[in-house]
């Protein structure tokens, strides 16, 4: 009833030629992003009419884009070509969208749209324009993505030599960018480099690039203690390596994955070891058939023996000795020895065991986002919140509440009397945090960089709801700020960011900060992460921390929710010295109350 009354008041204000009043009334009502679609859309239609009457063209376009009423967008006078392009995109008129982006001098956006329209000559020309941008000389990551995109378009045009050159350049730049990003502690951005590299390898059939991309992604996931993601990437890489008939690589990867799973105490690690043994046999068979070095085939079969034996499959291991004895071209003395071993242990039998099966979710193929487009688009938008939120409106696969929050955030500067006023920018920063998706981080970073103290504080408040590793790029700047209010806001953000991916940046904050309050906030968040890595970190603080930190870690271990906590405490009790043992006994007693 209250919403109906607000809509009626807004309509009356429009009839009375007071459209700004109508917009003010309905903007607050639109903040109820939980409303049913029919009710919410009706509120927005009245707001759209009010915005049109007020002459706020881009704000009106925002509403019609959300509602997918593209004809209303096209009819707006003096419309920005970027919004006209977005309307065409919603209508699947990608070539028209590209033309509008060209008019807006956004060649990367236009190139992506032309690719969607399968107009590759036009896309090629635009990617070449983007590649010539002087700003890319200091940005190897974006330069790599542009070269990658140009290479894909050239492949579609059948220009194989030029495509190859672009992809070689992209590979070199990706490797350079990854090194630079890791050196700066931005492993999550280096991870993006390696994801593009493995995609490049997959598309070109270059197993070297594929392997480099996967192995580095796995390395970073391991370093960030994201064990299940690492195992999923192992499985994805194995599937691709098997399809490429790179059987020696398959066996090597399985050996590494089995060791990793065993180190984590995963119950299914014997199953991976059996697969490793079978893969070594397959690799040896391939080498023999292709006339490869006999020594390599022999080594592969011996590795198979070791893998079978490691899980108690002694009968199968002895069977491999028979294959070694029959290996064509092998040294006769060694062949005779393998034959004697096969005969001596012929009665060996496999131990009875039922190793746990690999969970199905680890077999799910990894879906790689098209960051080669998304990150170039982000770069071209230069951290503009209005444009970033405009792109979110195009993603109709997002839940309604995400698009509604993006709509509201976009409207804030578009309807404000002073869009660049610190109060407006602070309001915008907090609204971006409510959208809660990765795409708002770039504009939030830009607001922090360009804003005054109150804007920085609002950006850090927004960061509290954005559970991504990249969020810590703002937090790290906040803790180093000279303003005390900004540092306090950064500590509040640290206290709120306790999700699995946050372990690495939180542990860096705790290790590296000279500020005791920041260290305390970081340790408190680590203690709320339900993972074995977090528990082990707290145990390390018990061993090496100051008296205050040891007490804090003790309290956190009492409340730790990771399923491995009890076992980790028992293991530490058996291994550590008397002083730490006394603390752990106290923790165990308090946990068992």
DSSP structure string for 196-265: HHHHHHHHHT-HHHHHHHHHHHHHHHHHTT-HHHHHHHHHHHHHHHHHTT-HHHHHHHHHHHHHHHHHTT
Q: Look at the block and give the residue holding tokens 């994801």.
A: 195
The mean pLDDT value of the chain amounts to 93
Is residue 379 included in any domain, yes or no? Answer: no
- For tokens 């350079």, the residue is 176
Confidence band, pLDDT 50/70/90 cuts, at residue 374: very high
pLDDT tens profile 337-371: 888 888 888 888 888 878 788 888 888 887 778 89
Q: For residue 121, tell me if it sits in a domain.
A: no
- The dihedral built from the CA positions of residue 132, 136, 138 and 143, taken in this order, carries a sign that is negative
Res. 18: pLDDT tops 80: yes
pLDDT in tens, 33-91: 999 999 999 999 999 999 999 999 999 999 999 999 999 999 999 999 999 999 999 99
What is the model's pLDDT at position 459? 98
Of the three residues 202, 225, 248, the one that is the final residue of a domain is: 225
* Residues paired with 350 in a beta bridge: 313
| Tens of pLDDT, residues 438-464 | 999 999 999 999 989 999 999 999 999
pLDDT (0 to 100) of residue 367: 79
CA gap 194, 214 in Å, rounded: 7
- Say whether both 358 and 427 belong to one domain: no
| 189 found inside a domain | yes
CA distance 313 to 25: 74
Query: Are both 197 and 300 inside the same structural domain?
Result: no
The answer on 547 and 511 residing in a single domain is yes
Among the listed residues 579, 532, 516, the one whose alpha carbon sits nearest the alpha carbon of residue 524 = 516
276 and 220 housed in the same domain: no
Query: 216 and 235: one domain?
Result: no
What is the distance between the alpha carbons of residues 303 and 297, in angstroms, rounded to a whole number? 10
pLDDT of amino acid 223: 86
pLDDT score at 55:
96
Cα(534)–Cα(519) distance, integer angstroms:
15
Identify the CATH number of the domain in which residue 68 sits.
Answer: 1.25.40.10
Q: Is 329 left (phi over 0), alpha (psi -120 to 50) or beta?
A: left
Report the pLDDT value the prediction gives residue 1, as an integer from 0 to 100: 54
Is residue 149 domain-resident? yes
**Residues 575 and 447 both lie in one domain:** yes
Q: 188-221: per-residue pLDDT in tens? A: 899 999 999 999 999 888 999 999 999 999 999 9
Would residue 112 count as lying in a domain? no
Q: Do 407 and 466 sit in the same domain of this protein?
A: yes
* Rounded CA separation 534/537 (Å): 5
Question: Residue 228's pLDDT is what?
Answer: 86
Residue 193: partners with Cβ closer than 8 Å, 6 or more residues away: 141, 144, 174, 175, 177, 178, 181
Cα 491 to Cα 38, 446, 469, 506, 537: the distances in Å are 41, 20, 16, 11, 20
Query: Residue 560 is part of a domain; what is its CATH number?
Result: 1.25.10.10
Domain final residue pick, 225, 260, 281: 225
Query: Which residue in 502, 504, 478 sits closest to 489, CA to CA?
Result: 478
pLDDT at 24: 94
Q: What is the model's pLDDT at position 262?
A: 92
pLDDT at residue 593, as a whole number: 73
Q: State which residues form the domain around 151.
A: 133-225
pLDDT reported for residue 363? 84
Residues 356 and 442 grouped into a single domain: no
pLDDT (average), residues 257-283? 93
Whether 107 maps to a domain, the answer reads: no
Q: What is the CATH number of the domain that holds 207?
A: 1.25.40
DSSP state at residue 351: P
The 8 Å CB, 24+ separation contacts for 6-12 are: 6/43, 7/42, 7/43, 7/46, 10/46, 10/47, 10/50, 11/46
Whether the pLDDT of residue 411 is over 90: the answer is: yes
Report the percent of the chain where pLDDT is more than 90: 75
Domain membership of residue 496 (yes or no) is: yes
Residue-wise pLDDT tens digits, 563-573? 888 888 888 88
Please tell me the predicted confidence (pLDDT) of residue 167: 94
Same domain, 533 and 415: yes
192 and 65 in one domain?
A: no
Of 220-224, 427-431, 549-553, give the range with the top mean pLDDT: 427-431
First CA to last CA distance, the chain: 51
State yes or no: pLDDT of 386 exceeds 70: yes
Name the domain count of the chain: 4
3-state secondary structure of 496: helix
Secondary structure tally for the chain: helices H, strands E: 34, 0
Same domain, 314 and 437: no
pLDDT at 583: 87
C-alpha–C-alpha distance, residues 535 and 561, integer Å: 9
Q: Is residue 418 part of a domain?
A: yes
203 with 312, same domain: the answer is no
Write down which residue in 84, 100, 116 finishes a domain.
100
């Amino acid at each position: 009833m209250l919403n109906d009354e607000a809509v009626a008041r807004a309509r009356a204000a429009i009839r009375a030629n007071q459209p700004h009043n109508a917009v003010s009334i309905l903007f607050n009502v639109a903040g109820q992003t939980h409303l049913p679609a029919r009710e919410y859309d009706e509120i927005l239609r009245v707001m759209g009419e009010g915005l049109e009457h007020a002459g706020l063209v881009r704000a009106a376009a925002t509403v019609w884009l959300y509602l997918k009423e593209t004809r209303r967008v096209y009819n707006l006078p003096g419309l920005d070509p970027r919004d006209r392009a977005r309307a065409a995109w919603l209508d699947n008129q990608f070539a028209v969208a590209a033309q509008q982006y060209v008019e807006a001098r956004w060649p990367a956006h236009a190139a992506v749209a032309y690719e969607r329209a399968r107009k590759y000559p036009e896309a090629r020309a635009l990617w070449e324009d983007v590649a010539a941008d002087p700003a890319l000389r200091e940005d190897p990551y974006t330069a790599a993505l542009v070269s990658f995109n140009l290479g894909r378009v050239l492949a579609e045009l059948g220009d194989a030599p030029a495509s190859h050159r672009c992809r070689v350049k992209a590979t070199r730049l990706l490797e350079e960018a990854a090194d630079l990003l890791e050196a700066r502690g931005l492993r999550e951005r280096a991870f993006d480099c390696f994801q593009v590299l493995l995609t490049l390898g997959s598309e070109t059939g270059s197993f070297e690039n594929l392997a480099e991309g996967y192995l580095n992604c796995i390395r970073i996931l391991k370093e960030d203690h994201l064990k299940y993601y690492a195992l999923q990437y192992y499985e994805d890489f194995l599937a691709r390596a098997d399809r490429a008939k790179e059987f020696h690589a398959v066996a090597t990867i399985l050996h590494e994955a089995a060791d990793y799973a065993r180190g984590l105490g995963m119950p299914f690690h014997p199953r991976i070891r059996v697969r490793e043994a079978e893969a070594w046999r397959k690799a040896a068979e391939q080498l023999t058939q292709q006339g490869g070095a006999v020594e390599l085939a022999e080594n592969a079969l011996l590795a198979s023996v070791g893998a079978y034996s490691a899980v108690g499959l002694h009968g199968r291991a002895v069977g491999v000795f028979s294959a070694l004895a029959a290996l064509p071209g092998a040294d006769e003395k060694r062949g005779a020895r393998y034959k004697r071993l096969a005969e001596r242990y012929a009665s060996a039998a496999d131990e009875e065991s039922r190793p746990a099966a690999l969970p199905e979710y680890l077999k799910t193929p990894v879906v790689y986002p098209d960051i080669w487009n998304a990150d170039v688009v982000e770069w071209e938008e230069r951290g503009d919140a209005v444009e970033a939120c405009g792109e979110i409106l195009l993603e109709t696969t997002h839940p309604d509440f995400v698009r509604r929050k993006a709509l509201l955030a976009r409207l804030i500067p578009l309807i404000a009397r002073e869009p660049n006023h610190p109060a407006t920018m602070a309001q915008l920063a907090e609204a971006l945090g409510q959208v809660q998706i990765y795409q708002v981080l770039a504009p939030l970073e830009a607001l922090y960089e360009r804003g005054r103290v109150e804007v920085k504080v609002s950006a850090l408040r927004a960061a509290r709801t954005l559970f991504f590793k990249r969020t810590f790029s703002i937090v790290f700047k906040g803790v180093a700020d000279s303003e005390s209010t900004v540092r306090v806001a950064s500590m509040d953000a640290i206290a709120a960011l306790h999700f699995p991916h946050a372990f690495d940046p939180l542990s860096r904050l705790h290790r590296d900060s000279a500020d005791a309050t920041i260290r305390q906030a970081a340790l408190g968040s680590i203690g709320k992460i339900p993972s074995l890595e977090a528990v082990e970190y707290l145990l390390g603080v018990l061993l090496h921390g100051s008296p205050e930190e040891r007490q804090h870690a003790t309290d956190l271990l009492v409340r730790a929710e990771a399923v491995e906590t009890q076992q980790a405490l028992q293991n530490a009790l058996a291994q550590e010295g008397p002083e730490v043992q006394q603390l752990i006994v106290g923790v165990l007693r308090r946990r068992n109350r």
